[in-house]
Amino acid sequence: MNKEPQEFKRIVILGAGESGTGAAVLGRSVGYSVVVSDSKIIKEEEKELLQKIGAHFEESGYNFERLRQTDLVIKVLGFQKMRLSSSHLDKWG
């Protein structure tokens, strides 16, 4: 069964770090309505970028009603910076 790709008009991105705001920029560039949501306080530079591209955001928790009413929810898995010592590098040869 061949299906046409589903059109997503409203997306919510969970995670407002570098990866989440990058996903928001991509979504807005193709015309999606984007809300970025984070359980923590969003950094000011991320807020400024989201405002500049016309994305909405919420911080310090998630609006579960909004999640139910959206077309697509994206959970962004960022990464934490890790200090590498010579012992870490030795494990990789």
pLDDT at 88: 46
User: Which tokens belong to 41?
Assistant: 């306080």
Q: What is the pLDDT along the chain (93 residues), one digit of tens a residue?
A: 444 445 668 999 999 998 999 999 999 999 999 999 999 999 999 999 999 999 999 999 998 888 899 999 999 887 655 555 555 445 544
CATH number for 69 = 3.40.50.720
Distances (CA, A) of 57 to 7, 16, 22, 52, 87: 22, 8, 13, 12, 41
Domain region containing 40: 10-91
* Residue 3 maps to a domain: no
CA-based end-to-end distance of the chain? 49
Has residue 4 been placed in a domain?
no
Query: How far apart (Å, rounded) are the C-alpha atoms in residues 17 and 42?
Result: 8
Q: Considering the domain boundaries, does residue 67 fall inside one?
A: yes
pLDDT of 79 reads 61
| Long-range contacts of 1-7, Cβ-Cβ distance < 8 Å, separation of 24 or more | 6/71, 7/71
**27 inside domain:** yes
Number of domains composing the chain:
1
Q: What is the pTM of this model?
A: 0.75
